[in-house]
Each structure stands twice: as structure tokens, then as C-alpha cells.
Amino acid sequence: MTMPPQPPYGGTPPVQPMSPADEKMWATLTHLSGIFFSFLGPLVGYLVLRDRGPFVRAHTATALNFQLTLLIAYVVSGILVIVVIGAFLYPLVAVAGLVLAIIAAVKANQGEWYTYPLTITFVR
């Protein structure tokens, strides 16, 4: 019985790049996962797919940055409920998050680059 060849120096084998169609699909799914799983969907997408191609890496990082910014906006509007303005701000943040995530998913599905407006860059 022969053993499979080991990568040199005990490293991990190189990751195969994705096809452009697969990159578009995963970029689209990453944006949509933010709607259902907040920042966790894009975080998992970023950690798993970041080395599989430049298009999917850019979109997963963009989706993660947006969801983290959205999380901050939810926390701030939750705190501002004390002074009433948060009661109006929270639904606006929710609607903006939904609409912008759908727009980003459509752009990713069309193979276009997209950046969310007013997003803090945490991950490059």
C-alpha cells in the first residue's frame, strides 16, 4: 500500500481556483447569506473561499465588511431607542441592509464588482 504524496515541508496543498461561474455563484450566495445569518454567513464564506479567486475574495470581503457595519448600526440604533430616534433608525437600517444586499447579490451574479456605500473597511 502506497501513501499519497505529502506536500513539501508539511504545508497544505495549494487550493484550486474556481471557475468564473462558480465564483459568481458563491459571491452571490455570500451576499444573500448576510440577509439570513447576519455577519456569520459572509464570515464563513470569506474564511472558506478567500483563496479561491479574486472575484469571490473581493465579494466575500465586501459582504463581511457591510454586515459588520450593519451590526454596528443595529447596536447604535438599539441604544438610541432610549431617546426615541432609534425607533425610527432601526427599521431604516433593516430596510437599507436588505435592499443593498439584494443589489450586491444581483451585481455579483452578473459578474460585476460592487462596493456597498457607507461601509467601514474591516477586512481587505
Residue 21 three-state SS: helix
Residue 3 has pLDDT above 90, yes or no: no
pLDDT (0 to 100) of residue 10: 59
**Cα(104)–Cα(90) distance, integer angstroms:** 21
The pTM for the full model equals: 0.86
Task: Supply 42's cell numbers.
Answer: 459572509
pLDDT of residue 116: 96
Determine what percent of the chain falls in helix, strand and coil, rounding each to the nearest 5. Answer: 70, 0, 30
Work out the average pLDDT over 47-66.
96
Average pLDDT over residues 46-57: 95
Tens digit of each residue's pLDDT (9 = 90 or more) over 79-115: 999 999 989 999 999 999 999 999 999 999 999 999 9
